Amino acid sequence: MYRGSDPKRGLTPYTPTEDITMAMTEQAMTEQEAYDSLAGFIQDYIYEKKWEHLNPLQIASIEALQEMDHNLLLMAGTAQGKTEAAFLPAISRISQEDTSGIGILYISPLKALINDQFIRIEDMLRGQEIAITKWHGDSSVYRKEKLMEDPRGILQMTPESLEAMFCCHAERIRPLFENLAFVVIDEIHFFINDQRGIQLLALLERIQRLAGCRPVRIGLSATIQNPETAVAFLNTGSPYEGKVLFYKAGNHHVTCSVTATRIGKVEYPERYFKKILKHTKGKRSLLFTHSRMQCEKIISGVREMALAYHLPDIYYVHHGSISKGSREETEKIMKQESGPILTGTTLTLELGIDIGDLDQVIQATDPPSISSMVQRLGRSGRRTGRSAISFQLRHREDKGDLKKLDLSVVRSIAMIELYFRSQHMEESRMPRYPFRFLLHTILSLICEKGCLQPHQLAAYVLEMAVFKHISQEQLRDILVHLIDLDVLTQYEDAALGLSDRGEEIVDNLNFYAVFDAEVAMSVYHNGVEIGMVERAYRPGNVFYLAGRSWEVKECHMDSQRIEVVETHISEEEEASIPFAGYGSMETDFQVMEKIHHILSDESEYAYVDEEAKGVIETLREKAVRYGIKEGLHMDRNTGDLLWFPVAGTRTITTLYHILRAHDLRCEEIYCREILFGIRLKGESPGHLLGICRTLAGEEVLIDNAYAARSMKYHGKYFNLLPDHIRAKEILEDLLDLEGARRLMAGMNSV
C-alpha cells in the first residue's frame, strides 16, 4: 500500500497481470514514478483510500498526460478506474498552475452522472483551494455566481448547459476558459453518432476560438467497438492528435441466463412476476426495460406480489419521469444499503453512476444494442469480480400474424453470442452533413453576437471542423430559407439578426437541447413531487408511477400539476400507464445475420432454460412457415412477395425506399419492433432479382425530390430546412445507400 504523507513514500512489490495497450508509444514510466509525479495531496488521497496500487491504465494515463500535446481516449470496463486515470494527473497538473479560470471542464450526458462524479472528485480535493462546480438546472445558483466572480478549478456541465452559457453569458466565456487545460468527456460513446455529440464538438471549438485556449481532451468509455472512430470524434476541432489506452482487468467472471414466459391475452401474467420475484429474492438487482411503461408495470406487479407474501418492500423505480428527489433517494438507498433490492429502470442507470455493488442485472426486454447490454452488465460485480446478467423475457404469441412475430428471444441470444464469443459491438459513425445542428448553431451564434454579416457567419461556421463537408452554397440556401420563413431578418446593411419568430425559438429553455423535449404534467402527493406523466388525467383516473398506483384527485392545467393519493389495484382492475411506448429498434448487420442463423440452425445454448428452448424451436418452425428461411417467399394468402434480406435496419430501410422511388408497390415488414423485411405487391422473385441487379448499377438510387417528399424523418429543426438540404442529410447520413447497392448487386438468381 502507498505510504501516504510519509517522506519515504513507496510501493509494495507488484507485478501486473492485466493487459494494457497504448497506441503510438510504449509505456516506460514505472508505477513508483507515476505515483511520485502526482501532487502531494493526491498521494495522500490514495493513501487514505488504502489503494494497494495504481492500475496499468492509471500509470499509462499519468505518463501520457505529462507532455500535454495529445488527446487521450481511455477505454476500460465499468469500475476499472477510468475517472481516476483522467483526474489524478489532470488535477495534479492544474494544482501547479497559479492562474485564474477553469482548469478542467468535465462534460457528461446526464445530470445524475455529474452529481455522482461531483462527490467523488470533491473527495479528492478535500482541504485544497481547487474548487469544483456543477452547473446544470438543479445546481446551486450561489455556487454558479461565485464561479462567475472568481473562475477556478473544475467545472461540470452537460452540452445543454454549455449552450445556455453561450446564449446567456457569452461575455464570460473568455475569463472562464482562457486557461482551460483539460476537457474530460465521460461516456464518450454516448455522444458519438448523436446530435448532442455534434453540438458538443461545436461548443468546444467555439470555446477555443473565443477564449484562445488549447485544452487536451480526454474521452472515457467502457463500450466502444471502433477506437479509431472515437479518436476521430475526440480530435474533431482540436489542435491535437489522439492516443488510445485500452485496459482490461483479468479474472472477471460473467454468468448469463435466458428464460422466456409465453404470454397470451394477459401481457403480464402472474407467473412472470413470480419468476422475477423468485430470481431476485435475497439479491441486489437492477432490472432494465425498453420503456417507462414496462418498468412501471413490472415493478408494480412484482412489488404487489411480494407484499401479498409479506416480504419486505424493497422495490424502486428510476427513470426520467420520476422526480429528482425520488431518483436521488433511490440512488442513495442502492449505494448505502447492503440488503436485497430490486430497482426498475430504463436508460437512467445505464451509465456510470455509482449505485453500489449489485449481484445481477436483469433484462426484462431485449437490449436496444450490444453496447447497451455491455454497459448494463458492468453495473454488477463491480467489487466481487463476478457479474451476472439474466434475460427474463416475455414471449408473445403471434397467432399466425407475421407482424406480431416476437423475435426478442433470438435477438437477445444473437447479442449474447456476438459479444461473449467474439467481443462484437455496434460501430459508431459520425454524420457528414449535420444540417439540423448547423441551423441550431446559426441561431446560437446570432443570439450570442446580436447580428452578423453573412460573410462573417460563413467564415465562422464553415471553418468549424464539424461542418467541414458543408459548402458555402448550402449555407447560403439555409440562410435564405430562414429569412423566407421569418426566422431571420436581414437589415439594410445586409447583417442578419433574429426576427420575432427567431427570438421566440432562441428565448426558450428547450432551445439549449438539440433534441425535442417532452411536454409533461407534474404529479404531487401530499405536496411532494413524485414525477411526471405525459398527459393530463381526470379526477378518479388511476395510473402507475414510481412503482405504485395513484388515484387522481385534482388536475390543474394552468400549472401543469396533478394531485394524487395512493391506491390499490385489484386483480380485476387495470391502471393506466402514463407514458408512450417505444419505437422500432435499430439492429446492425451482424446481429441480424446472427438472428437469421439462429432461426435456420439447430444449435442449442447452455444458458437458455427449457421454456426459452421451446420458444426457439417454435420460432424456427415459423421461420420456415413465413418464408424467412427462404429469404424470398410468396405469401399464398395475399399473393405478395416477402423479402427477408440479411441486412441491418438502415439497409432494409434504404432498400424499401429505393424500391418505392422506382414505383414498386411495397411496404416494410415489422416483426413487432424489429424491421425485418419488405412486402412487395405484384412481383415475382425472378423479376425482383432482375430489378435489383439493374438498380445496383444506377448512379442515383434515390433522388432529392423523393427524399424530400416521401421520407418523413422527425427531428428538431428538420422542418426549418429547405427540401433539398433536408434530403441531402437523409440520403448521406440516415440511409445506407452503398450497403443497399452491395446487397442488390450480390443477390443470387432463383
The whole-number average pLDDT for the span 192-204 is: 90
Q: How confident is the model at residue 225 (pLDDT cuts 50, 70, 90)?
A: confident
Nearest to 613 by CA among 410, 347, 400, 364: 410
How far apart, in whole angstroms, are the C-alpha atoms of residue 608 and residue 412? 11
DSSP state of 720: G
Statement: residue 582 has pLDDT above 70: no
pLDDT of residue 557: 58
Q: Tens digit of pLDDT for each residue in 586-641? A: 899 999 999 999 999 999 999 999 999 999 999 999 999 999 999 999 998 899 99
Name the least confident of 5-14, 204-213, 270-279, 509-518.
5-14
The model's pTM is 0.84
Residue at 676: amino acid letter: F
719: part of which helix (H) or strand (E)?
A: none
Say which amino acid occupies 469: H
Q: Is the pLDDT of residue 21 over 50?
A: no
Query: pLDDT tens digits, residue range 728-745?
Result: 999 999 999 999 999 999
163 against 250, higher pLDDT:
163
- Residue 5: its pLDDT value, please? 36
pLDDT at 459: 94
- Is the pLDDT at 254 greater than 70, yes or no? yes
Site of grid cell 433522388: 703
Q: What is the overall mean pLDDT for the chain? A: 87
> Mean pLDDT throughout 327-345?
88
Q: Strand pairing of 561-567 and 548-556? A: antiparallel
Cβ partners under 8 Å of residue 41, min gap 6: 95, 125, 127, 128
Instruction: Name, in order, each residue with C-beta under 8 angstroms of 252's C-beta and a sequence gap of 6 or more.
Output: 77, 381, 385, 386, 387
Q: How far is CA 537 from each of CA 311, 549, 671, 713, rounded to the nearest angstrom?
A: 32, 14, 32, 30
Average pLDDT rounded to a whole number, residues 558-587: 65
In angstroms, the CA 536 to CA 201 distance is 38
Looking at residue 661, what is its pLDDT?
94
Read off the pLDDT band of 270 (50, 70, 90).
Answer: very high
Residue 581 has pLDDT above 90, yes or no: no
Read off the C-alpha cell for 280. 431476485
SS (H, E, C) 207-260: HHHHHCCCCEEEEEECCCCCHHHHHHHHHCCCCCCEEEEEEECCCCEEEEEEEE
Instruction: Check pLDDT > 90 for residue 500.
Output: yes
CA distance 691 to 641: 14
CB–CB of 322/566 below 8 Å?
Answer: no
pLDDT at 584: 60
Beta bridge partners of residue 74, listed in sequence order: 220, 245
Q: What is the mean pLDDT of residues 452-476?
A: 95
What value does the mean pLDDT take over residues 18-22?
39
* Location of C-alpha cell 413470480: 274
Share of the chain above pLDDT 90, in %: 60
pLDDT-derived band of residue 1, with 50, 70 and 90 as boundaries? very low
Region for 526 from its dihedrals, namely left if φ exceeds 0, alpha if ψ lies in -120 to 50, beta otherwise? left
Q: Residue 321 pLDDT > 60, yes or no?
A: yes
Residue 190 DSSP code: G
739 Cβ contact list (under 8 Å, min separation 6): 589, 647, 648, 650, 651, 654
Answer whether 149's CB lies under 8 Å from 430's CB.
no
Compute how many other C-beta atoms are within 10 angstroms of the C-beta atom of residue 343.
Answer: 24
Sheet of strand 341-345: strand arrangement: 253-263, 386-396, 360-363, 284-288, 341-345, 315-318
Beta strands in 579-700 (DSSP E): 632-634, 641-643, 666-671, 674-680
Let me know if 121 is exposed, middle or buried by CB neighbors in 10 A (0-12, 13-18, 19+).
Answer: buried
- Nearest by Cα to 735 from 692, 700, 702: 702
Confidence check: pLDDT of 7 > 50: no
The closest alpha carbon to 748, from 632, 668, 647, belongs to: 632
For the chain, the straight-line distance linking the first and the last C-alpha, in angstroms and rounded, comes to 70
- pLDDT top residue among 246 and 225: 246
Q: Is the pLDDT of residue 18 over 60?
A: no
